[in-house]
Amino acid sequence: MLKLLILAAVGALIGWMTNVIAIKLMFRPINPIGIKGTPFVLQGMIPKRRIEIAKSIGDVIGQELIKMETIVDRVIADIDKRQVVVMIKEKIVAVASEKMTSMIPSMFKHMIIQNIESIIDENGEQLVMEMAEKLSHMAIESIDISKMVEDQIAAFDFEKLEEITLKIAKTELKHIEVLGGVIGFFIGLLQGVIVLYLL
């Protein structure tokens, strides 16, 4: 019976240690380490595949979660068109007043300014929407969210990433370690029964 318990305990220890090492090997070593006398190179799974992982995450975020069209549509919808028109009008009137020479009689200046204000009031909101749509098309064509996310992840400090991941998934990873021990215990128990009683 003692031998059986020893084999089960050894199995539990092996199962637990295997899972602990497997979790560590997800991140470590960060840089590749060659094993002397063999063609094998040891490197953590995530650092080794950082480019593929970064690209996959970037593609998922850019294509499925955050589409540039959605961002632009939200920005356009949230624009206070009236406020933008007022700002444009103030700026144009200020520039026009400043640029008109003193040779122009003040009565004509006043009429020109009124005419400008009237045109902006009538067409301002439509012009703002047209400008916003043109800018949005330019933004959609020039901004690649997938590539931005990919570059950010690829350049991420992996020690910091490891720290964050282990902090967030601490409980779940502990469960995996314990589960390895439990499974190892029962495998060791089964092996003990086979070796001691069936062979």
- Given a cut of 90, is residue 49 above it in pLDDT? no
d(CA 73, CA 82): 18
Phi, psi of 79 (to 5 degrees): -65, 130
What is 168-199 written as a DSSP string?
HTHHHHHHHHHHHHHHHHHHHHHHHHIIIII-
Label the pairing between strands 41-42 and 33-34.
antiparallel
Least confident of 80-89, 148-157, 171-180: 80-89
Residue in 134, 174, 180, 161 with CA at minimum distance from that of residue 49: 161
Q: Residue 153: pLDDT above 70?
A: yes
Handedness of CA 163, 165, 170, 173 (dihedral sign): negative
Lowest-confidence range among 133-137, 148-152, 167-171, 189-193? Answer: 133-137
Q: Is the dihedral of CA 129, 135, 136, 138 positive or negative?
A: positive
**Predicted TM-score of the model (pTM):** 0.53
Distance CA(160)–CA(23), nearest Å, equals: 16
Residue 120 token pair: 């902006």
For 9-22, write each residue's pLDDT tens digit: 899 999 999 999 98
Is 169's pLDDT higher than 80?
A: yes
* 25-40 pLDDT per residue, tens: 888 887 888 878 888 8
Q: How far is CA 75 from the centre of its chain?
A: 20
Integer Cα distance of 144 and 155 in angstroms: 17
What is the DSSP secondary-structure string of 62-127? IIII--HHHHHHHHHHH--HHHHHHHHHHHHHHHHHHHS-TTS-HHHHHHHHHHHHHHHHHHHHHH
